[in-house]
Amino acid sequence: MDNPVLDAESTLAALPPPHPEDPLPLIRALSARLARTVVVLDDDPTGTQTIHDLPVLTTWDREALAAEFSRGTPLFYILTNSRSLPTAEAVTLTREIAAALRDAAQATGRRFDVISRSDSTLRGHYPAETDALADCLGPFDALVLCPFFAAGGRITLSDTHYVREGDRLVPAAATPFARDAAFGYRNSHLPAWVEEKTAGRIPATAVASIPVETIRTGGPEAVASGLRSSASGQVFILNAATPRDVETAMAGLLLAQIDGCRILFRSGAQLVAARGAIAPRPPLRPDEIADPSGRGGLVVVGSYVPKTTAQLNHLLAAGLCQPLEIDVTALGPDPAVDPLIRATLERCEALLAGDRLPLVFTSRSLVTGSTPEESLAINRRVSRGLVHLVRSLRTRPRWLIAKGGITSSDCATAGLGVRRADVLGQLLPGIPVWRCGPETCFPGLGYVVFPGNVGGDDALTEAVRKLSNPA
What pLDDT score was predicted for residue 115?
98
Contact 430, 439 (CB under 8 A): no
The per-residue pLDDT for 366 is: 67
**Residue pLDDT tens, the chain, 471 long:** 468 999 999 999 999 999 999 999 999 999 999 999 999 999 988 889 999 999 999 999 999 999 999 999 999 999 999 998 999 999 999 999 999 999 999 999 999 999 999 999 999 999 999 999 999 999 999 999 999 999 999 999 999 999 999 999 999 999 999 998 889 999 999 999 999 999 999 999 999 999 999 999 999 999 999 998 888 899 999 999 999 999 999 999 999 999 999 999 999 999 999 999 999 899 999 999 999 999 999 999 988 788 899 999 999 999 999 999 998 888 888 888 889 999 999 999 999 999 999 999 998 776 666 777 777 677 777 888 999 999 999 999 999 999 988 889 899 999 999 999 999 999 999 999 999 999 999 999 999 999 888 899 999 999 999 999 865
User: Which amino acid would we find at residue 283?
Assistant: P
DSSP 240: B
Residue-level pLDDT at 336: 87
Q: Alpha-carbon distance 246 to 237, whole Å?
A: 12
The size of the chain, in residues, is: 471
Strands 431-435 and 446-450: antiparallel
* CA distances, 232 to each of 142, 257, 263, 400 (Å): 7, 15, 11, 45
DSSP letter (8 states) at residue 46: G
Provide the pLDDT for residue 1: 47
**Is the dihedral angle over the CA atoms 379, 384, 386, 387 positive or is it negative?**
positive
pLDDT at 119: 94
Count of beta carbons in the 10 Å neighbourhood of residue 370: 8
The per-residue pLDDT for 305 is 80
> What is the enclosing helix (H) or strand (E) of 37?
strand 36-42
CA dist., res. 250 & res. 270, Å (int): 11
Q: Mapping DSSP to helix (H, G, I), strand (E, B) and coil, where does residue 215 land?
A: helix
CA atoms within 13 A on the CB side of 24: 11
Helix (H, G, I), strand (E, B) or coil at 238: strand
How is residue 236 annotated by DSSP?
E
User: What is the rounded CA–CA span in Å between residue 400 and residue 419?
Assistant: 17
Alpha-carbon span 371 to 123, nearest angstrom: 16
Q: Which pLDDT score, from 0 to 100, does residue 471 have?
A: 58
Could you give all domains of the chain from N- to C-terminal order, each with its CATH number?
A: 6-275 (3.40.50.10840), 286-468 (3.40.980.20)
| Cβ-contact 355, 392 below 8 angstroms | no
Residue 75's DSSP bridge partners are 38
pLDDT at 191: 98
Cβ 391 vs Cβ 368: under 8 Å: no
Partners of residue 156 on adjacent β-strands = 161, 240
Q: Record the pTM.
A: 0.91
DSSP character for 50?
A: T
Count of C-beta atoms within a 10 Å radius of residue 357 = 21
Q: In what order do the strands lie in the sheet with 154-157?
A: 6-7, 168-171, 160-165, 154-157
Q: Which helix (H) or strand (E) holds 62?
A: helix 62-71
CB atoms within 10 A of CB 369: 14
Could you tell me which of 338, 349, 433, 436 has the C-alpha nearest to residue 388? Answer: 338
Alpha-carbon distance 418 to 440, whole Å? 5
Position 15 scores a pLDDT of: 98
